[in-house]
Amino acid sequence: MSLHRRPLLQAALAAPAFLSAASRRAMAQDPRRLLRSVPIGDLRALDPIWTTTYLTRNHAYLVWDTLFALDAENRPQPQMVEAWETSGDGLTWSFRLREGLLWHDDTPVTGADCAASIRRWGARDGMGRALMAVTEALDAPDARTIRLKLKRPVGFVLDALGKIDSNVPFMMPERLARTDPTQQIAEVIGSGPFRFDRSAWVPGIKVVYDRFARYVPRSEPPSQAAGGKLAKLDRIESVYTPDSATAANGLITGELDLLESPAPDLVQHLQRARDVVVASNDPLGYQLFVVFNHLHPPFDKVAARRALMSVIRQSDFMQATVGDRSPSRECAAVFGCAAGEDAQFDALGWPRQDLATAQRQFRDSGYDGRPVVVMDPADNATLHPGALLLADALRRLGANLDLVAMDWSALVSRRASRAAPAAGGWNCFVTNATITGISNPLLNTFVRNCEDAWFGWPCDRRVPELTEAWTFESDPAKRQEILKRLERVHLENATQVPLGQYRSAIAHRRNLRGLISAPALFYWNIEKA
């Protein structure tokens, strides 16, 4: 299939006026005080507990803080916590908050705030739910202490509280943390290094963050999400720029400072620019995958899902997503493949059949010719090519396609709909997740099943049973055996379709210093020379 590629000539157009009058005045005083970045989409959901989208997660890391955080070795380190202790039987954990922590409304952070935040996160996140399932009590004995009492000892308490990927256990004021987990919070009040400026937020145009002068960073050097979060910028403007060529040109001319997700077909053009750096920001990278709606035809039938799997060629999706400009590889495992590990197609039972057989299987599954709704995030340069290839694969199967173009934020909203596809719902879409965030059954939100299922709502009772067995198995060899059984179950039932792994890139002006390599985009420690 021939994919439409944006002409590079567009990048030579004159740069638009990204900056407001206030921004230009700030730059006239000191250009190092303001950073202008282009996010991966239009920020509409502000609550990182309510949604798993990385757009909201990146926003949240600016505003909120965490009790623990993963360092560059993916080890949990204290962040808001000063000290902690565990009882001899491993059932009681006590955490002491650092002194001087303040919310952005200048009120002190308390243990009660954090206990309420853990409960709300624990109602939404897979690892949080696992922790809450073994929690007997969670309270705050005093203003700076959080106490967790377990029903049985588990080894993932710090890993859970230090979780780096969606849903991240961000701490919020108690009044916000008491919000129903199925509803979004009404305010954005954090205790992180930057403060969300709601008065300057223009949906569809820009989001503004100001340095929180009373934030007290840790003394350790920054290491991934851990260590000192030192805000070296006074103001960050996140400028939504759906046209990738316009964004690339803004970076080249200096109107912009950073692109969180440059269009893959413009990467070589950016690499040739004198004052631009293109580099991978995530040491492990991403998995691309297809999400099915298991509630509605045709993908309520496993035969239809596996028929589509059999005509998928991961190499095509990787070529369309990153081409030859970034490292990529094939991998059949929903929990990702480690470096040096084979792709596992045969070991996990990936269906392999010719097109005619796949077409017959698709028809025999009960497909009746109704339109198959594929959501296409046309403003997302990484996911858009995959959506086009997915549509092409379905056409080859004989499906009647309804390829619906929308922006990424609209897709994030629509994916929550359980309505029939013809009534505003959907059948499938392509998305991605960090390898860090999918590497085990507790972390991987996207393959949860039954009562805990993510969007798509798959339900194979073997999945929660094996997940629970893996969670509480202490023998490493037996744990690995359970994980492989779980991998096979996911492919047998076609929970989703892995499309390959790749390393993403960010692009920034050469005068930026201190960017931190991580699965998320962090804005602390960045300075402009």
- For the chain, state the CA radius of gyration: 23
For CA atoms 254, 260, 266, 269, the dihedral sign is positive
The residue type of 200 is A
In terms of C-beta density within 10 A (0-12 exposed, 13-18 middle, 19 or more buried), how is residue 451 classed? exposed
- Each residue's pLDDT tens digit in the chain (529 positions)? 334 434 333 333 333 445 555 555 555 557 679 999 999 999 999 999 999 999 999 999 999 999 999 999 999 999 999 999 999 999 999 999 999 999 999 999 999 999 999 999 999 999 999 999 999 999 999 999 999 999 999 999 999 999 999 999 999 999 999 999 999 999 999 999 999 999 999 999 999 999 999 999 999 999 999 999 999 999 999 999 999 999 999 999 999 999 999 998 899 999 999 999 999 999 899 999 999 999 999 999 999 999 999 999 999 999 999 988 789 999 999 999 998 899 999 999 999 999 999 999 999 999 999 999 999 999 999 999 999 999 999 999 999 999 999 999 999 999 999 999 999 999 999 999 999 999 999 999 999 999 999 999 999 999 999 999 999 999 999 999 999 999 999 999 999 999 999 998 999 999 999 999 999 999 999 999 8
CA distance 409 to 45: 8
CA distance 16 to 242: 13
CA distance 120 to 135: 14
Q: Which tokens go with 130?
A: 């696992």
Is-above-0.85 flag for pTM? yes
What is the pLDDT at residue 473?
94
CA distance 145 to 127: 22
* CA separation, residue 20 to residues 24, 178, 205 (Å): 6, 37, 11
CA distance 180 to 13: 47
The owner of tokens 């997700």 is 261
> Are 98 and 171 spatial neighbours (Cβ–Cβ below 8 Å)?
no
Q: What is the DSSP string of 323-363?
A: TTSS-EE----TT---TT----TTTTT-----HHHHHHHHH
Collapsed DSSP state (helix, strand, coil) of residue 28: helix
What is the pLDDT at residue 245?
96
Q: Which tokens go with 227?
A: 């260590």
What is the pLDDT at residue 2?
38
CB within 8 Å of 388: residues ≥ 6 apart: 1, 3, 320, 376, 403
> Are 449 and 458 spatial neighbours (Cβ–Cβ below 8 Å)?
yes
* CA separation, residue 232 to residues 56, 158, 185, 213, 279 (Å): 22, 29, 28, 11, 21
What is the pLDDT at residue 3?
44
